[in-house]
Structure 1
Amino acid sequence: MNSEKKGELSELKASLRQFAGSRAPGSTEAKRELFKKVISYMTIGIDVSGLFTEMIMGSGATSDLVLKKMCYLYLCSYAASNSELALLTINFLQKDCQDEDPMIRGLALRSLCSLRVKNLVEYLLGPLKTAIRDSNPYVRTMAAMGILKLYYLAPASCNEGEFVPALKRLLMNDPDPQVVANAVCALQEIFDKEAESGSGPNVNGKDWLLSKEVIYTLLNRIRDFSEWAQCIILALAAEYVPQEPDEIFDIMNLLEDRLQHANSAVVLATTKVFLHLTMSMADVHQQVYERIKAPLLTLISTGSPELAYAVLSHLHLLVTRAPMLFAADYKHFYCRFSDPSYVKKLKLEMLTAVANEANTYDIVTELSEYAANVDVVIARESVRAVGQIALQSYDVNGIVDRLLQFLDMDTDYITAETLVLVKDLLRKYPEWAESCVAVIGGVSHTAVSEQPAKAALVWMLGEYGQDVPDAPYVLESIVENWAEEESETVRLEILTAVAKLFFKRALECHRLLGRVLKLGTEDGNQDVHDRALLYYRLLQQGADVAQKVINPEKRAVNEFAETQSSEAKDRIFDEFNTLSVVYRQPSFQFMAKEQPKAGASSEEDPATPTGVLQGGGDFAHQELLSGAEKEEVAAPPPTASNGAETYSAPNVLDIMSGPPANGNAASVSGDPFATSTGAPVADNAPSSSGGGAGGLDDLLGGFGGQSTSQPQPPPPAPALQLVPRPTLDAGTFQRKWGQLPVGQAVEDSFAPAALAKLTTPQALLRHMASNSIACMASGGNAPTFRFFFYAQNADASGFFLVELIVNTAKGTASTKVKAEQAHLVEPFVQMYRTALQSF
């Protein structure tokens, strides 16, 4: 701090002392100006802790509420970092807690509980006990939240002081709705915290909060609460499990008018209650969909763009679960000119989702208009939407014509998107090849610059090149630019397309195939190199063998891979009315708790599982790694013997000059698939230093060679020991779950005593953790709960991943086990089942 600021603070301190005990006319306004200046200095980061005594003196001698508020803000800002100064505030704040003005009493109590100094906890207990019985509801409101602050500061003192029973009395009996709402919020946090830690007198407190008596008490008064409080109570009601069907209808009738509320959060929270209560009643659940349709569509039309996006995200989730829900209301999802791009994009997804036989023509017509949109992103998305509808088998005839008309627009990005979609369309509907290829043949490859579109065009030229007269020559001109092609995907497609076309038009593609194989084996990308080498090896084995692998009989693709599994959608549905729906991810993926590093010491209770996250998610269908990194092997590429003259040879194998590994020259007869007559190369043949065909043979270890070694029986399963407290982060779990196959699936049954414990799933998590099996995620609602566990081998050589689905109504437990070491699956399953059955 410079000398100028120090001088200002000295003057400010003297002024505060001057007006400290003054009650003269105008002194209150002067104190306000001084206090404002102190708060402004504090806001910009200047240390004004030296004015602590003067601030207390200045506000202690006045009953002005504005001065009190500024003083309380100052005290709370500096008390946590300086416990000695905080001690000076106790008498001042305790005195204000007994003030005649209830606003001052409430503000003083809030400030007293916000000091966050453990040494001062004993001074909070008396004012809190008094405030809970205060006649003014504002003071009781502050007391409810003050108990929660006390719990986070000193849980033992909170429990010993009988504050939790006091909160329960406020919840059940207090006439003021805001006091009840704060009591609900405080109790919910306390019960969740103790359930997570697995200790404390209120570890099963959530069961009381979700009891029929409490839920009915809150719902009967829901109209009296603020919108914020209504959302909290509705979220609590969504977790309630009715014991009788009549309760479901009672709650729905009670909340019927909440669907017409002006606040969107209340409407969505009520929708969640209706959907979750009727999950086990299929007919009623369908009627609920019909009932919630009108309120949600109204929110889209009348709300802000941000609100429309949030509601559309929830509608999209509902449509994926019940596709016919909004089929007749598709016009609500037409894009308006004033809609921002993010809303338009989501509306296009909705139009794709609601398309069926009855509305496909109208939807595709509307989407075709969007293809001319000046917004490039929306134009692309509209073309993709048309293609997605075509893949859903709705009126394919008209949609194909629409897609092909997009090529006439002569727009680069529209042409690129159309080519990719036509490729997918031909994979599913080969019968449309004649119409599509006739148009695709007129597309110039020089006008296609985007890599996915270029790869799609090359694929079609290879797959249907017999119907395109210029296909070999188009591919030849593309091969000319091999060195400039940056995408390995396009180079792989070129390899495959030329190889396929060779079997259909051999004379025209003979030299082209030889050239492409040579370029491929010399390519720096390992995938391209390996595929070219594979094709070369297959051609050595003969025409029939090569054709079966490279150019097999076409089969229509009935189903394309979903971007998200139904299991993941179910998990997101469990978190309805949260950000999980907007992000389209279970909450654990963007709220994952930080895991301790392997080998690091942990202060946690060993019985407490690390990384327990509610909600869960689909580990197998999220962003997984594409696979293990390939080892970079510098394989010696084949070299040509006479440069360009090599391509004039009639035999495709002649492009790989140099004798094969067996020392015999390849045949140069008219048969383009003639191979050497020598013996096959052994698996352990040495590498050829010349880099010719022999070098290629050696790289694969002798393609076609026979191994004389006999298969060895698997070793016996060793004894298994687990790490007591395994550590694994959520991202690694997700990746491993997607990569590993299911090692074993088992079914078990739960005893009635065990099912009774499952009313609190945390009990199972603690039990499994005590058996060295930790929980990564858990979620679900009665009667179905889902858990993901993991364990680690004691020598840290691998992990075991487990999915457990428990149905409390049937008393069954279904388990899938995946392991990095397959031979340890059986002993682990035995250990796991023993732990599960002892629960």
Structure 2
Amino acid sequence: MSDSKYFATTKKGEIHEFKEDLRSLDRSKKKEAVKKVIAAMTVGKDVSMLFPDVVNCMQTDDLELKKLVYLYLINYAKTQPDLAIMGVNTFVKDSQDPNPLIRALAVRTMGCIRVDKITEYLCDPLQRCLKDDDPYVRKTAAVCVAKLYDINSELVEDRGFLDILKDLLADSNPMVVANAVAALSEIHEVSGKDVFQITSNSLFKLLRALNECTEWGQVFILDSLAAYQAKDSKDAESIVERVSPRLQHANCAVVLSAVKVIMKQLDLIQDDALVRQLQKKMAPPLVTLLSAEPEIQYVALRNINLIVQKAPQILSHEVKVFFCKYNDPIYVKMEKLEIMIRLASDKNIDQVLLEFKEYATEVDVDFVRRAVRAIGRCAVSIEKAAERCINVLLELIQTKVNYVVQEAIIVIKDIFRRYPNRYESIIATLCENLDTLDEPEAKASMIWIIGEYAERIDNADELLEQFLETFPEETALVQLQLVTAAVKLFLKKPTEKPQQMIQLVLTYATQETDNPDLRDRAYIYWRLLSTDPDAAKEVVLAEKPVIMDNTTSLEPSLLTLLLGQLGNLASVYHKPPEAFVTRSRMAVQRAEDLAPASFEEEGPISAGASEAMPGPVAGPEVQSHQPDLLGDLLDVGEPTPPAPVAPTPTPPQPTARPPAPPTSNGNLQELLGGLDINAGAPPPAPVAPQQAGQADPFGSPAVRQDQAGGSSLRQLLTADRGKGLSIFGTVARVGGQPVYQLRFQNETAQPLDGFMIQFNKNTFGLAPANQAVNVGVIGPRSSGSASVPLVQNPAMVSPAQAPPTLQVAIRNNQLGVAYFNDSLPLPAILVEDGKIEGSVFVGSWKSLPEANEVTQQLPINIGSLESVRARLAAANLFVMAHKQVAQTNEEVLYITGKAATVDTPTQLLLEVRYSKAIPGIKAFTKSTRPDLAPFVFEALPALLT
């Protein structure tokens, strides 16, 4: 009979019916009631109030009923820890039952009930089951040890469970061995301790069990063997010989785990003939994986991508296998395309190019673009095939398909960089398609080609003029290339027309833009031209380094790490496990012991996650053509205001000029190599009076509150400066972690999405834990809020500022990047454990040198002492003592706190003296970081009044 009847719709009074049936003396009626309770629990109904009645059903000889009751207990024991103790006696009794299935069921259930009170009762039954005569019970108990370790690691170590698990590695039953390996591996990974180390003796036992256990047991054993470091070549050959038959297994996970072990041992094998034989043997199993369903194909392709980066010869003769089929999903096609590029050589390039050319005529635009780009990457990496690749690209350009032409121009720019002065004859063909260019990347690439080969293009100035007509509306990528191309044209053809052109470009780039990259580059070029034209030629027209195609190759250390993770999620993401997995203890606590949720409880986020994430190697190679504006635009120091200007426009005439004395203009000064940005020739045109906030791209936070949101967030960016986007925000401390609380007001007529955030360097090294801002899509005339957890990154620390300032860039897909400044409130970086005892305060004050003491008179009056204590405590500053000095009629407050500086937290010691008869206070502070004193003094008025 079908069990669907148990999932009927809810009836009134059914809980009462369940309770009556559970108390019935009729066994069949009681069993039916338990089934109905489990069905209700399965569909999400709360049946926890039946806990005592269900527990009373545990003592039964019916194995099916016992399984159902145990299932209920696992689900509700965490919410009823006190009542769960009722079942302990039955668990202990069942663990000694003559039936091995019941013994295993009892110990498995006790391990799944994550309640601290039950843990101590689990130890004795578990110890017996680990030495049980039946292998089914032993293998179940082995896994239970790992569960117990997650609840109480000290208990596992004290009771000797780890030693028993190690003894199980020599068990006669292969499944027991496999489960022992799985449990030890899990404990080893969770604890970070060296609890599982394969020796020569245990290695033989694992290899012996490998052929007899189930497929998932084989995976566990192979994964552990992948971490084993062979002693010598002979040892490695022995391991490979025993593992090689697993390559023929039907389970994909077993195949990938076997490949992982063999790849690890290949480096140690000295017999070249054996290495080649093994590499040849690995190819068919990997190819077979591509005959599975698309999801498995994708996982296999991601793993194969790693393998061919390490040893492309394994699949060098199998490139045809990776040709795309018409019905392949796009994610499979993209991965196949990447592997085809890696396997392409001068022997098979004709076949590969024919495929790429065919792909470039498909209907999927993204796939077509990737195919065209693949042709360019093959040209860059295979010198002998470059000319054939060029011919294919020219054929694609003749199709006049807009996106194909533009992608071809992008990759041809890379080919020119890879092979300078070899294929410039095709520039004329490229110039014929100028009118069709509408994408920023394609425009930037074409402008680069015109500027780089301006001396060979007769009408280069006319071609650049076409782009200059729309200069103000172009993206930053195109504007930057236009500035550089105009300078190159001026240096190569210093005639009247290029002079007028460069005057126009530099005028806009220095006066009409708020893009710091564009403005700084224009200033640098201007100073070079006006100071030393010969030096300008050497810098701008210098020979460029030859690029290579390794943008999608992983760093060797990361590649080695990922090859050790073949078959795991890390090999699919191409990221180390710690980049996307956080481990937290899962032991269930009593409800009253649970603290309020905080960001730290949700899992630690590594500092500077954006910087730590592995990714393509960047540099002078073939770069990804999507500009990382957020990253590039923030790699600047303090923004430098525009230079003073002359009253009348003056064309830039290069004149020799001695270098000016150095000034302190931040990173721009360093880039100029000692030139004073305010000295030398004036810019080419007068600057109109700038509106407030235009000189500094970050601007200053407005004082206006966010009244629409009903909060105390300050307005950081106005709609006129944010192109229709208003931003309100503040840095607060939530759950022991600094959090940037933001509110976005979209005053445009289009939806905004794809919000990202990044900080410049700052006093405390604060950075967003994740660049993506989880605010979703903000509709027109709507608003959205987000909380961005912040972390401290040593690489983001800058010299102390008073008051500390955050330079913030926020970008979205529609409006681009917006900049603003925000002040950092002191409570945001004060940790909760800053309170110390009086003796420690006095000892610390005396131990610090007098030079670390900073004093400041503040014109404020202290109110009620109780209210002051409360405000300071809310900010994690603690009044350690209050003293009245009769001689001077003064009152003294001794205050402590601890600032979360990057290296080690800095203890802040404060003494505040005041008198009710005399207005004002005198504040003293001492710490190991006296540079933080202005920050403290700046915050005191708001905290004390």
CA-to-partner distance for each residue in 1:587-627, whole Å, 9 max, x for gaps? 23223679xxxxx9x99xxxxxx99x9xx997995899545
Note if contact 1:317-1:569 (Cα within 8 Å) is conserved in structure 2.
yes
Q: Distance in 2 between matches of 1:698 and 1:582?
A: 50
Asked whether 1:702 is paired with 2:679, we answer yes
Partner of 2:635: 628
Task: Return closer, same or farther for 1:156/1:728 CA change in 2, 3 Å cut-off.
Answer: farther
Q: Which letter does structure 2 place at the counterpart of 1:474?
A: L
Task: Return closer, same or farther for 1:477/1:730 CA change in 2, 3 Å cut-off.
Answer: closer
Corresponding residue to 2:340 among 332, 351, 355: 351
Q: Distance in 2 between matches of 1:361 and 1:471?
A: 35
Pairing of 1:208-219 with structure 2 (within 5 A): 210-219=198-207
Asked whether 1:268 is paired with 2:245, we answer no
Q: Which letter does structure 2 place at the counterpart of 1:185?
A: A
Asked whether 1:182 is paired with 2:179, we answer yes
Note if contact 2:377-2:549 (Cα within 8 Å) is conserved in structure 1.
no
Task: Return closer, same or farther for 1:435/1:796 CA change in 2, 3 Å cut-off.
Answer: farther
Q: Distance in 1 between matches of 2:97 and 2:236?
A: 48
Q: Distance in 2 between matches of 1:491 and 1:421?
A: 20
Partner of 1:79: 77
Partner of 1:571: 561
Q: Distance in 2 between matches of 1:516 and 1:617?
A: 38
Asked whether 1:94 is paired with 2:92, we answer yes
Partner of 2:746: none
Q: Distance in 2 between matches of 1:685 and 1:256?
A: 66
Asked whether 1:140 is paired with 2:152, we answer no
Partner of 1:69: 67
SS in 1 for 2:312: coil
Corresponding residue to 2:26 among 22, 29, 50: 22
Corresponding residue to 2:169 among 165, 168, 171: 171
CA-to-partner distance for each residue in 1:740-770, whole Å, 9 max, x for gaps? 9xxxxxxxxxxxxxxxxxxxxxxxxxxxxxx
- Superposed displacement of residue 556, structure 1: 6.0
Note if contact 1:416-1:450 (Cα within 8 Å) is conserved in structure 2.
yes
Q: Distance in 1 between matches of 2:189 and 2:613?
A: 21
Pairing of 1:75-474 with structure 2 (within 5 A): 75-175=73-173, 177-194=174-191, 196=192, 205-207=195-197, 210-282=198-270, 283=272, 284-300=274-290, 302-392=291-381, 393-444=383-434, 446-474=435-463
Q: Distance in 2 between matches of 1:530 and 1:150?
A: 60
- Superposed displacement of residue 230, structure 1: 0.2
CA-to-partner distance for each residue in 1:70-106, whole Å, 9 max, x for gaps? 1111112222232221121122333333444432332
Q: Which letter does structure 2 place at the counterpart of 1:182?
A: N
Partner of 1:11: 17
Task: Return closer, same or farther for 1:548/1:129 CA change in 2, 3 Å cut-off.
Answer: closer
SS in 2 for 1:430: coil
Task: Return closer, same or farther for 1:631/1:145 CA change in 2, 3 Å cut-off.
Answer: same
Q: Distance in 2 between matches of 1:441 and 1:621?
A: 32
Q: Which letter does structure 2 place at the counterpart of 1:584?
A: H
Note if contact 2:530-2:655 (Cα within 8 Å) is conserved in structure 1.
yes
Q: Distance in 2 between matches of 1:376 and 1:414?
A: 9
> How many residues matched?
652
Partner of 2:32: 33
CA-to-partner distance for each residue in 1:396-428, whole Å, 9 max, x for gaps? 221111112221122222122111111111122
Partner of 2:808: none
- Superposed displacement of residue 133, structure 1: 4.2
Note if contact 2:18-2:33 (Cα within 8 Å) is conserved in structure 1.
yes
Partner of 2:508: 519
SS in 2 for 1:315: helix
Corresponding residue to 2:468 among 466, 471, 479: 479
Identical-residue share of aligned pairs (%): 32
Q: Which letter does structure 2 place at the counterpart of 1:226?
A: T
Q: Distance in 2 between matches of 1:632 and 1:681?
A: 20
Task: Return closer, same or farther for 1:528/1:159 CA change in 2, 3 Å cut-off.
Answer: closer
SS in 1 for 2:283: helix
Note if contact 1:620-1:734 (Cα within 8 Å) is conserved in structure 2.
no
CA-to-partner distance for each residue in 1:174-204, whole Å, 9 max, x for gaps? 43x322322222233344555x2x5xxxxx5
Task: Return closer, same or farther for 1:629/1:457 CA change in 2, 3 Å cut-off.
Answer: same
SS in 2 for 1:509: helix
Q: Distance in 2 between matches of 1:728 and 1:256?
A: 48
- Superposed displacement of residue 437, structure 1: 0.9
Q: Distance in 2 between matches of 1:543 and 1:169?
A: 79
Partner of 2:50: 51
Task: Return closer, same or farther for 1:167/1:584 CA change in 2, 3 Å cut-off.
Answer: closer
Q: Distance in 1 between matches of 2:241 and 2:90?
A: 51
- Superposed displacement of residue 139, structure 1: 2.5
Task: Return closer, same or farther for 1:343/1:640 CA change in 2, 3 Å cut-off.
Answer: farther
Note if contact 2:303-2:572 (Cα within 8 Å) is conserved in structure 1.
yes
Pairing of 1:392-791 with structure 2 (within 5 A): 392=381, 393-444=383-434, 446-485=435-474, 487-505=475-493, 506-522=495-511, 523-541=513-531, 543-552=533-542, 554-555=543-544, 557-559=546-548, 562-563=551-552, 564-591=554-581, 621=617, 625-626=631-632, 628-635=635-642, 638=645, 641=648, 652-653=651-652, 672-673=653-654, 700-703=677-680
Q: Which letter does structure 1 place at the counterpart of 2:572?
A: V
- Superposed displacement of residue 516, structure 1: 1.6
SS in 2 for 1:652: coil
Note if contact 2:237-2:269 (Cα within 8 Å) is conserved in structure 1.
no
CA-to-partner distance for each residue in 1:519-568, whole Å, 9 max, x for gaps? 2221221222222223332332354343333334x456254664433333
Unaligned runs of 5+ in 1: 199-203, 595-599, 604-609, 654-671, 687-696, 706-725, 741-790, 798-839
Task: Return closer, same or farther for 1:581/1:134 CA change in 2, 3 Å cut-off.
Answer: closer
Higher helix share: 1
SS in 2 for 1:549: helix
Q: Distance in 2 between matches of 1:278 and 1:681?
A: 61
Note if contact 1:498-1:512 (Cα within 8 Å) is conserved in structure 2.
yes
Higher strand share: 2
Normalising to structure 1: TM-score of the pair?
A: 0.70
CA-to-partner distance for each residue in 1:32-87, whole Å, 9 max, x for gaps? 43222212333344432322232133353x43222211111111222223222112
Q: Distance in 1 between matches of 2:663 and 2:230?
A: 70
CA-to-partner distance for each residue in 1:806-829, whole Å, 9 max, x for gaps? xxxxxxxxxxxxxxxxxxxxxxxx
Q: Distance in 2 between matches of 1:109 and 1:587?
A: 31
Task: Return closer, same or farther for 1:540/1:171 CA change in 2, 3 Å cut-off.
Answer: closer
Task: Return closer, same or farther for 1:6/1:164 CA change in 2, 3 Å cut-off.
Answer: farther
- Superposed displacement of residue 115, structure 1: 2.5
Task: Return closer, same or farther for 1:502/1:130 CA change in 2, 3 Å cut-off.
Answer: closer
- Superposed displacement of residue 471, structure 1: 2.5
Note if contact 1:367-1:382 (Cα within 8 Å) is conserved in structure 2.
yes
